């Protein structure tokens, strides 16, 4: 079954404590991206990756890092989380940049 997995699904943490949200896809897609979703603002892209070792900033990259060492994995790293990074995070993948989007289940992050 084609799927995108994210872990953890829920996380409560404190300011400054480094965390990583993992994302993995089994569809052999080259393109992956991270979004955050906040009430009233819709989906905003954080980072995206066109292929292994190729990443680029989206619309709201500040405070985040990503890496793409393997095709299937695209972790999101918050080196020093702050309360304004409290949000719902989605990983997504597509076969082509503008093609059908496949989303992970979401990670609800709270930074205290």
Partner 1 sequence: KNEVEQSPQNLTAQEGEFITINCSYSVGISALHWLQQHPGGGIVSLFMLSSGKKKHGRLIATINIQEKHSSLHITASHPRDSAVYICAVPSLDSNYQLIWGAGTKLIIKP
Which residues in this chain contact partner 1 in the complex, by CB under 8 A?
31, 33, 40-45, 48, 50, 56, 58, 88, 90, 92, 97-103, 105-106, 108
Q: Measured from the CB atom, is 15 or 51 closer to partner 1?
A: 51
Shortest Cβ distance from residue 85 to partner 1 (Å)? 17
Q: Following DSSP, what letter does each residue of 21-67 receive, concatenated?
A: EEEEESS--SEEEEEEEETTTEEEEEEEEEETTEEEE-S--TT-EE-
Report the residue number, 12 or 14, with the smaller CB distance to partner 1. Answer: 12
CB closer to partner 1 out of 75 and 104: 104
* Residues forming a β-bridge with 88: 37, 108
The CB-of-74 to partner 1 minimum distance in angstroms stands at 13
């Amino acid at each position: 079954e084609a799927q995108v997995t994210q872990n953890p699904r829920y996380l409560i943490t404190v300011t400054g404590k480094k965390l990583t949200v993992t994302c993995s896809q089994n569809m052999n897609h080259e393109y992956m991206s991270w979004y955050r979703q906040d009430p009233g603002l819709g989906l905003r892209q954080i980072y995206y990756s066109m292929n292994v070792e190729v990443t680029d900033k989206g619309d709201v990259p500040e405070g985040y890092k990503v890496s793409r060492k393997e095709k299937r994995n695209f972790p999101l790293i918050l080196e020093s989380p702050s309360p304004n990074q409290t949000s719902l995070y989605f990983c997504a993948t597509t076969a082509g940049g503008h093609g059908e989007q496949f989303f992970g289940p979401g990670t609800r992050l709270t930074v205290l």
